[in-house]
Amino acid sequence: MASSALVLRIAAEIRQKIQTGKLPLGAHLSAQKVADEFNVSRSPAREALVLLSEQNILEQLPNRGFFVLELVQDPSQIHDEVLPLEEPDEYYRLSEDWLNNAIPNEVTEQFLRTRYNLTKAQVIDILNRAAKVGWAEPKPGYGWRFLDVAKTPETLEQIYKVRSLIEPAALLEPTYHHDLSKLQRLKKEQQDMLNGGIDNLPADVLLKNGIRFHEELIKLSGNPLYHMILVQMNNMRRLIEYRSMIDRKRLFKQCAEHIRMIELVEQGNNLEAAHLMKQHLSGSFAHKSPILKLRPESAEANLSLSGIGTGLTSLIEESTS
């Protein structure tokens, strides 16, 4: 019997973690651990693990669980297994309604079934997807609650302003840890995207890869507050960012800049990496502004010349004197 979309999604995300090195060779997985991580029941979690064991990616040992057996090939070559990660239409309908304030912030599964003409399984699937990326959560006892996210271009602009402050500054922390193995894994993931992933991977995977690059890089600062703030902002911007994933061509430039930043950090040249990070965030925001219908004055110049941007520029310039 064919696996459900939920099982395929869980299996694909586990596979991606193995491919990026987050789950190394020999890492142990259990149905309960996977169920807790994906906020699902043990049944789809176990199905996903069994599916990966049938693909010789995991090894199932009696009474011990599942273990990572081998590294996964280039994700751009696994078309049939990656495509199920694309969000279903009903997920986007729900997210658009939430972004446009067309539904209340607290709902029941029955309300969503009626509104979107869905089965119970479909409603549970899209709610689990929403919970996984941080914009929905089950209420104690009964019903679901939608959480605050960036619903307007103006809010996204504010997020990018804060990012343009903290991400370059994190690179300049004296406690920055140059973890070469982690940097190499990040570089490989970005290179895989350049080598075909940008054209072949679904939009949600591309967005997650970009988010992972920035979160892993800032985590090396040695200051956990930088990472905590960035994770929260990324959760807030995910929904509105999907709208800017229409044009994939820009991702080639972004991935190339990601790789260049990694190379600079590998060389110990964090100052130049901080300069590039600031330019990178400004350019990314400027590209999205017309797509998301931002005010013209809210594009690249606004980020680079705002009080936040100016303050950071002064900090970087002082480091060179």
Write down the H helix ranges in 175-219: 180-192, 198-200, 203-219
The reported pLDDT for the residue numbered 117 is 93
CA distance 170 to 316: 11
31-90 confidence digits (pLDDT tens): 999 988 877 788 888 999 998 998 888 998 988 899 998 655 444 444 333 333 456 778
Tokens of 298: 């809210």
Domains and CATH numbers, the chain: 5-72 (1.10.10.10), 87-146 (1.10.10), 153-320 (1.20.120.530)
**Residue 246: count of CB within 10 angstroms of its CB:** 8
Tokens of 48: 């996903």
281-295 confidence digits (pLDDT tens): 987 766 665 555 544
Mean pLDDT of 111-137: 88
Task: Between 129 and 1, name the one with better pLDDT.
Answer: 129
Question: Is pLDDT above 60 for 183?
Answer: yes
Residue with tokens 């350019």: 283
Residue 96: its H or E element: helix 89-99
* Nearby residues of 36 by Cβ (< 8 Å), 6 or more positions away: none
In the predicted model, what is the mean pLDDT of the chain?
Answer: 80
The reported pLDDT for the residue numbered 199 is 80
Question: Is pLDDT above 80 for 220?
Answer: yes
In three-state secondary structure terms, 215 is helix
CA distance 280 to 210: 12
Task: Between 248 and 128, name the one with better pLDDT.
Answer: 128
Write down the H helix ranges in 101-249: 109-116, 120-132, 153-171, 180-192, 198-200, 203-219, 224-242
Task: Between 303 and 59, name the one with better pLDDT.
Answer: 59
